[in-house]
C-alpha cells in the first residue's frame, strides 16, 4: 500500500496482505515455468551463475577494522588463517569523514569504530605481509573513497603488483550517504563526479576492481522497508550509470564492475524475494534502459551483510541465532559474498572469538546444511514468487516517483529519501510499541541483569601513538614534493580533470587524507546537509 508523505508517496512497512497459504491463483498471469528461466540466464532471478555454489562457494568476507593499522593487520591474518576468503576493511569515523587522526575533531574517535588510516604509511602497515596480488580486498569508505583507493594502488605499486592484478571492491557509494548515513563532505554534484573519476580510472587500469558497491545496507539500517532499500539502491545505481555514460564511457566497459550491497533482515522469505527481485530489475534496466549488450553488464552481483540493527544488547547470545537465519536467507537469495555480524557488536567492537564464531556460522551453512547442492531451491514457491513480484512492482513505482522529481540528485535536494526512510522507521517503531512486532529478550521473554560477555577495549594509548606517528610523518616528508602534489590536486579539481592520477601522486608524496580532502574542498565546497524536511 501507499500513503502520502507531504508531496511524495512512500510505502509503509508491515502492510502486506496476510494469508495462511499461497496458491497458483495468487500469481495471476505470472507463470514461473515460463517467466523465471534458468539460473545463469536472463533475467537472472534464479542467480547470476548456472551452478551457483555447487562449483564455487560465496566469498566469506568478514568486516574487520579497529585501533591501529597493526591491530587490524593482525585481525586480517587471524581471519585468513581460520578460513576467510576475502578481506573487508572497516575504517574509523575520522577516516570516514576525511579527517586526519590529529585533527581536533578526531579526538576520542581514533581507532574506535574501525582502523585509523591517515597516510600511505598507515596503509602499508595495514597490509604488511599480505600479498595484494593474491587477496581480494573490500574497503567500506565513501567521501574519501578515491583517496583510500589511491593509497591501496600506491602500496600495490611499491610491492610491484601490476594494477591489472589488484582485486577488490570500493564501496564508494556517496549517494546513500545523503539518504541515510550522513558521512558526506562535498555537495552531491562534485561527490558523484569523484565517483565517476574512480569508475573511469579503474575501467582503464584496474579491470578486476569493483568500482562502486552500491549500498542498500545503510538505507535499511536507517529504517527503510525491504522494498525501499531495493528501490533506492537501484535508483542510485541508475544515477551512477547515467553519470558515467555522460562522461563518455561505454556502458559495457564499466558496468560489469559495479556491485551491490544489501542488508539481510529478519523477515526470512521477504529478504530472499528482495535479492531475487534485485537481479531481475537490474537485468531489465541495463538492457532496456541503457542498451547494455554484454551479459556481464546485466548481472547484478551482490555482497550481503546480516542486519546489525536487529542485534540486541539484551541476551546477546540470541544474536548468534538471528545472524544464522539471516545468513541462510542471504545464501538462499543467491549472494556472491557474505559478512555475518558478531554477537557482541551492540556492546563494542567484535572480540576475536566472536568474530571467529560469526565466520564459523557461514562455514556451517556452507559445509553442513547441503543448501549449496541446489540452485535457487525456493524458486517456483507460490509464496516466494508472489513476494518477489510484489517487491519488484513496488520498486518500479518508486522509480517512477524519483523520475518525476527529475532523478536522484533532484530527489536528494527535496529531501525525499530522508523523509521516506524516517516515516518507515517511525512506523516500524509504532509496530513494536503496539506489540505487533516482537523482539525476543527485549519486548518478550525479558531477563534482568547485565551481560557478562567480554568486550574489546580500545585504549587511549592507541590514539596517542597514532597521532604521534602522523605528526612525525608530517615533519619528515619531502616538503617540496608534498606541496607540488597538493597544488596539482587543486588545479586538476578546478579544471574538472579526473583526480585519480593526482591523488595517487599525492599519496606517494605522503599527503594525508585530511590534506587531500581540504584541497578538494577548496574547489568543491562543503555540503551543509540539504533541506530541513
- For residue 399, how many other CB atoms are within 10 A of its CB? 18
Mean pLDDT of the chain: 92
Over range 54-60, report the average pLDDT. Answer: 92
- Per residue in 278-309, pLDDT (tens digit) is 999 999 999 999 999 999 999 999 999 999 99
Domains of the chain: 2-60+171-434 (3.20.20.240)
Over residues 110-125, the pLDDT tens digits come to: 998 899 999 999 999 9
Note the helical H segments in 18-116. 32-35, 69-81, 93-96
Q: Is 305 helix (H, G, I), strand (E, B) or coil?
A: strand
Would you place residue 381 in the very low, low, confident or very high pLDDT band (cuts 50, 70, 90)? Answer: very high
Strand order in the sheet with 87-90: 63-64, 87-90, 136-140, 167-170, 209-210
Distance CA 408, CA 175 (A): 8
What is the distance, to the nearest Å, from the Cα of residue 202 to the centroid of all Cα atoms in its chain? 18
**264 closest CA partner among 217, 224, 301:** 217
- Residue 455 pLDDT > 80, yes or no? no
pLDDT (0 to 100) of residue 5? 32
Q: To 5 degrees, how large is the angle CA 405–CA 410–CA 411?
A: 70
Q: Which residue has the higher pLDDT, 338 or 453?
A: 338
Sequence-ordered alpha helix ranges (H) in 3-133: 32-35, 69-81, 93-96, 120-126
3 state DSSP class of 222: coil
Buried b (16+ CB within 10 A) or exposed e, 424-458: bbebbeeeeeeeeeebebeeeeeeeeebebeebeb
When pLDDT is cut at 50, 70 and 90, the band that residue 220 belongs to is very high
- The pLDDT confidence band at residue 43, using thresholds 50, 70 and 90, is very high
Burial (Cβ within 10 Å: 0-12, 13-18, ≥19) of residue 72: buried
In 3D, which of 474, 466, 516 has the Cα closest to residue 111? 466
pLDDT(22) > 80? no
The whole-model pTM stands at: 0.92
Nearest to 342 by CA among 367, 317, 325, 368: 317
Residue 228, Cβ density class (10 Å: 0-12 exposed, 13-18 middle, ≥19 buried): buried
User: Which of 454-458, 484-488, 513-517 has the weakest average pLDDT?
Assistant: 454-458
pLDDT of residue 9: 42
Is the per-residue pLDDT at 13 higher than 50?
no
d(CA 491, CA 474): 22
pLDDT for 532: 55
What does the pLDDT look like over 146-168, one tens digit per residue? 999 999 999 999 999 999 999 99
**What's the confidence (pLDDT) of residue 17?**
54
What would the pLDDT profile of 417-449 be if each residue is shown by its tens digit?
Answer: 999 999 999 999 999 999 999 999 999 999 987
C-alpha dihedral over 246, 252, 257, 262, to 10 degrees?
A: 80
pLDDT value, residue 73 = 95
Burial class (CB in 10 A: 0-12, 13-18, 19+), 68: buried
The proportion of the chain whose per-residue pLDDT surpasses 70, expressed as a percent, equals 95
Let me know if 265 is exposed, middle or buried by CB neighbors in 10 A (0-12, 13-18, 19+). buried
Res 33: pLDDT:
67
pLDDT digits (tens, 9 = 90+) for 165-197: 999 999 999 999 999 999 999 999 999 999 999
The alpha helices in 127-266, defined as continuous H runs, are: 145-159, 175-176, 188-205, 217-221, 226-247, 251-254
- If pLDDT is split at 50, 70 and 90, which confidence band does 11 have? very low
Amino acid at each position: 500500500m501507499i500513503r502520502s508523505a507531504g508531496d511524495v508517496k512512500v510505502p509503509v512497512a508491515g502492510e502486506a496482505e496476510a494469508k495462511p497459504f499461497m496458491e497458483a491463483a495468487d500469481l495471476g498471469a505470472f507463470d514461473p515455468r515460463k517467466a523465471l528461466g534458468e539460473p545463469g540466464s536472463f533475467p537472472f532471478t534464479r542467480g547470476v551463475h548456472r551452478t551457483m555454489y555447487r562449483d564455487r562457494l560465496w566469498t566469506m568476507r568478514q568486516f574487520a577494522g579497529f585501533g591501529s593499522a597493526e591491530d587490524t593487520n593482525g585481525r586480517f591474518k587471524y581471519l585468513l588463517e581460520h578460513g576467510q576468503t576475502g578481506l573487508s576493511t572497516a575504517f574509523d569515523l575520522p577516516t570516514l569523514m576525511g579527517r586526519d587522526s590529529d585533527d581536533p575533531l578526531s579526538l576520542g574517535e581514533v581507532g574506535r569504530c574501525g582502523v585509523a588510516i591517515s597516510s600511505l604509511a598507515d596503509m602499508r602497515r595495514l597490509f604488511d605481509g599480505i600479498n595484494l596480488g593474491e587477496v581480494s580486498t573490500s574497503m567500506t569508505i565513501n567521501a574519501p573513497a578515491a583517496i583510500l583507493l589511491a593509497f591501496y594502488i600506491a602500496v600495490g605499486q611499491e610491492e610491484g603488483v601490476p594494477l591489472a592484478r589488484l582485486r577488490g571492491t570500493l564501496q564508494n557509494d556517496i549517494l546513500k550517504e545523503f539518504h541515510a548515513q550522513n558521512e558526506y563532505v562535498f555537495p552531491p554534484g562534485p561527490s558523484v563526479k569523484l565517483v565517476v573519476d574512480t569508475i573511469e580510472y579503474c575501467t582503464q587500469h584496474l579491470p578486476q576492481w569493483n568500482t562502486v558497491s552500491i549500498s542498500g545496507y545503510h538505507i535499511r539500517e536507517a529504517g527503510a522497508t525491504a522494498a525501499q532499500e531495493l528501490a533506492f539502491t537501484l535508483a542510485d545505481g541508475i544515477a551512477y550509470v547515467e553519470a558515467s555514460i555522460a562522461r563518455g564511457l561505454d556502458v559495457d566497459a564499466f558496468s560489469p564492475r559495479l556491485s551491490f550491497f544489501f542488508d539481510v533482515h529478519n523477515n526470512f522469505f521477504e529478504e530472499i524475494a528482495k535479492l531475487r527481485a534485485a537481479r531481475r530489475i537490474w537485468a531489465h534496466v541495463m538492457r532496456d534502459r541503457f542498451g547494455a549488450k554484454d551479459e556481464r553488464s546485466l548481472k547484478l552481483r551482490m555482497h550481503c551483510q546480516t542486519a546489525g540493527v536487529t542485534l540486541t544488547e539484551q541476551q546477546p547470545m540470541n544474536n548468534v541465532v538471528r545472524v544464522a537465519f539471516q545468513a541462510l536467507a542471504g545464501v538462499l537469495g543467491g549472494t556472491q559474498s557474505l559478512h555475518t555480524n558478531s554477537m557482541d557488536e551492540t556492546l563494542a567492537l567484535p572480540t576475536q572469538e566472536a568474530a571467529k564464531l560469526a565466520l564459523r556460522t557461514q562455514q556451517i551453512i556452507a559445509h553442513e546444511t547441503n543448501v549449496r547442492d541446489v540452485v535457487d531451491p525456493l524458486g517456483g514457491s507460490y509464496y516466494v514468487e508472489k513476494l518477489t513480484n510484489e517487491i519488484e512492482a513496488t520498486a518500479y513505482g518508486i522509480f517512477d516517483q524519483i523520475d518525476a522529481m527529475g532523478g536522484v540528485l533532484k530527489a536528494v535536494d527535496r529531501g525525499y529519501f530522508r523523509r521516506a526512510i524516517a516515516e518507515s522507521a517511525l512506523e516500524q517503531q509504532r509496530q513494536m510499541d503496539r506489540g505487533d512486532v516482537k523482539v525476543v529478550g527485549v519486548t518478550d521473554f525479558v531477563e534482568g541483569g547485565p551481560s557478562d560477555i567480554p568486550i574489546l577495549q580500545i585504549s587511549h594509548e592507541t590514539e596517542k601513538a597514532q597521532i604521534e606517528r602522523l605528526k612525525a610523518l608530517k615533519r619528515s616528508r619531502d616538503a617540496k614534493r608534498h606541496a607540488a602534489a597538493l597544488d596539482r590536486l587543486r588545479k586538476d579539481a578546478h579544471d574538472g580533470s579526473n583526480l585519480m592520477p593526482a591523488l595517487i601522486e599525492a599519496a606517494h608524496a605522503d599527503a594525508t587524507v585530511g590534506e587531500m580532502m581540504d584541497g578538494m574542498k577548496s574547489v568543491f565546497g562543503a555540503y551543509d546537509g540539504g533541506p530541513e524536511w
